[in-house]
Amino acid sequence: MHMPLIGAGTFRLQGQAAIDSVANALDLGYRHIDTAQIYGNEAEVGQALAESGVPRGEVFVTTKIWTEHLAGDALIPSLKESLRKLRLERLDLTLVHWPSPSRAVPVAESMAALLAARDLGLTRAIGVSNFTIPLVKEAIDAVGAANIATNQVELHPYLQNRTVAAFAREHGIPLTAYMPLAYGKVLADPVIGRIAARRNATAAQVTLAWLLARGYTVIPSSTRRENLASNLAARALVLGTEDLAAIDALDRGERLVSPDFAPDWD
């Protein structure tokens, strides 16, 4: 199943807010939902999916394996628990959420377990998240680039991750951009604001349209139905060459997500 280019992210959404956000997203036409074990909301996402009335085959669902479950004997049991919470028989995509802290579990071990999970029918596709170029190389050595459906990374106008993006293109690995609106910082950006005014669009729509034009999948999140609807409409916004170049020029290497266990960034 093809991964829709705009998905509804669920990072930081808890309880009823998570249920309502996913329910609204599905009602508005989103067909890609992104969650993770560490978000603590897989059960709520599963409830919203079950109650939506949208046929299972129409929704692309992603979860991510937390670092505590990356060992070869732990990954599949943890994925089965995620499936139980999500009320699903199979994920569409399962990712290693972060590389193992201090390299405690080799990349090859986790990727082999993911591939085994796919072979068991627990997930349709596998991939990675927050992987640097050296780590992606290890993943490629373990399972082959063709078996890596995406590398999900922080990517927005202020952190364009160009070396990672170039490497991914070279090896045919799509990138998924998380934090695409830079925690909302882009909404006040004057360059993006001027483009939005000319295009009769919102700053969020302009930013998402830029990411889509650059070939990335995006997973913005919101608790507000009107913002979910507006973000989805970015699919129809076509930016000009000058617009794209102006946003390209905003890159300043501003990383917003870098926990103490993060890898050495490219």
The pLDDT assigned to 1 comes to: 62
Contact between 158 and 187 (Cβ < 8 Å)? no
Where residue 239 falls among pLDDT bands split at 50, 70, 90? very high
Q: Give the pLDDT confidence of 212-222 residue by residue, as tens digits.
A: 999 999 999 99
Query: What average pLDDT does this structure show over 223-237?
Result: 98
> Which pLDDT score, from 0 to 100, does residue 105 have?
98
The dihedral through the CA atoms of 62, 64, 69, 72 has a sign that is positive
Instruction: Give residue 209's identity as a one-letter amino acid code.
Output: A
**pLDDT digits over 59-89, tens only?**
999 999 999 999 999 999 999 999 999 999 9
Q: Which of 46, 3, 55 is nearest to 23 (CA)?
A: 46
Ranges of each domain in the chain: 8-182+215-222
Is 32 labelled a binding residue? no
Looking at residue 29, the DSSP 8-state letter turns out to be: T
Task: Report the alpha-carbon distance of residue 115 to residue 113 in Å, rounded.
Answer: 5
* Contact by Cβ (8 Å): 52, 27: yes
Q: What was the pLDDT predicted at 95? A: 99
User: Does the global pTM surpass 0.75?
Assistant: yes
Indicate which residues carry an active-site annotation. Answer: 39
CATH label, 8-182+215-222, candidates 3.40.1050.10, 3.40.50.2000, 3.20.10.10, 3.20.20.100: 3.20.20.100
